[in-house]
Amino acid sequence: MYQWDFAVVWSYRWLFVNGLGVTLAFTLAIVVLGLLAGLVSGLARLSSFAPLRWLSQGYVEVFRCTPVLVQLVWFYYALPMLAGIEMTATTAGILALSLYGGAFYSEIVRGGIASIETGQSEAALALGMTPAQSMRRIVLPQALKRMVPPLMNQSIIQLKNTSLVSVLAVPDLLYQGQAAAHDSYRPLEIYTVVAVIYFVVLFPLTLLVNRLERRLARAD
């Protein structure tokens, strides 16, 4: 029978705190940048200008159809050689994960906008709005409301994906956990605590998404 000893974990508490800080900061960065990429790409996907649509679709498919770990490694090792630029692990990680998330956000944005009845934009155009005004004033505000739950779900996945940057030695929660595990010879306790920390952060967020989904369902 294994003798659990969580007391040892306490001495590594600052590693966990720092790691969690890096994980959260990373998440914030890739969610914000990813949303930006997703919004641009989602709108481009609905453009009447065909090359923009192709570009957007190409971007989405490339990032959806390759493993995110492969993307991370490619951005860190391959892209700098290709582009002839130095890139820190953090930069490569943020770039890869933002673009990866952006591909999924893009589909959510596209789907959200497409879900608004065409009668809405027709009414807006009939009033004399330009397509851009119709999008900004009428379609997007309604679509955004419907997009919030799936966007939050994707952001939760993004937080989990940050654990992958540990392979590039970015000192996130998992990376610090690995360091603590090696140092203490107590991987079982350490990795259990790492898992619990992720859970404690994410579980309330999923509850929040569920509540939002129910509220929106009632409002419709």
Partner 1 sequence: MSEQPMIEVAALSKTFGENTVLRSVDLKVARGEVVALIGPSGSGKSTLLRCLNLLVVPDGGRVRVGELSFAFGSSARLPGTQALAKFRAATGMVFQQFNLFPHMTVLANVMEGPLTVRRMARPAAETLARSLLAKVGLSDKAEQYPSRLSGGQKQRVAIARALAMEPAVMLFDEATSALDPELVGEVLGVMQALAAEGMTMVIVTHEIAFAREVADRVVFLRDGVILEDGPARQVIDSPREAATQAFLSHFHRQREA
- Shortest reach from residue 57's CB to partner 1, in Å: 24
Number of residues that bind partner 1 (CB under 8 A): 19
- Shortest reach from residue 146's CB to partner 1, in Å: 11
Quick one: angle between helices 13-45 and 187-219, nearest 10? 40
Rule CB under 8 A: choose which of 66, 88, 130, 210 binds partner 1.
Answer: 130
- Shortest reach from residue 108's CB to partner 1, in Å: 19
Distance CA 144, CA 75 (A): 31
Q: Tell me, what DSSP letter sits at residue 138?
A: I
Where are the alpha helices (H) located in the chain, listed in sequence order? 7-10, 13-45, 50-64, 68-73, 79-83, 89-114, 118-126, 131-133, 140-161, 173-184, 187-219
- Shortest reach from residue 217's CB to partner 1, in Å: 14
How many C-beta atoms surround the C-beta of residue 1 within 10 A? 3
Of residues 142 through 171, those in contact with partner 1 by CB under 8 A are 142, 145
- Shortest reach from residue 35's CB to partner 1, in Å: 21
| 3 state DSSP class of 88 | coil
Q: Is 182 exposed, middle or buried (0-12, 13-18, 19+ CB in 10 A)?
A: exposed
- Which stretch in 59-67, 79-87, 130-138, 181-189 sits in contact with partner 1 by CB under 8 A? 130-138
Per-residue binder mask for partner 1 (CB under 8 A), 95-124, x = binder? ----------------------x-xx-xxx
**Contacting residues toward partner 1, per CB under 8 A:** 117, 119-120, 122-131, 133, 137-138, 141-142, 145
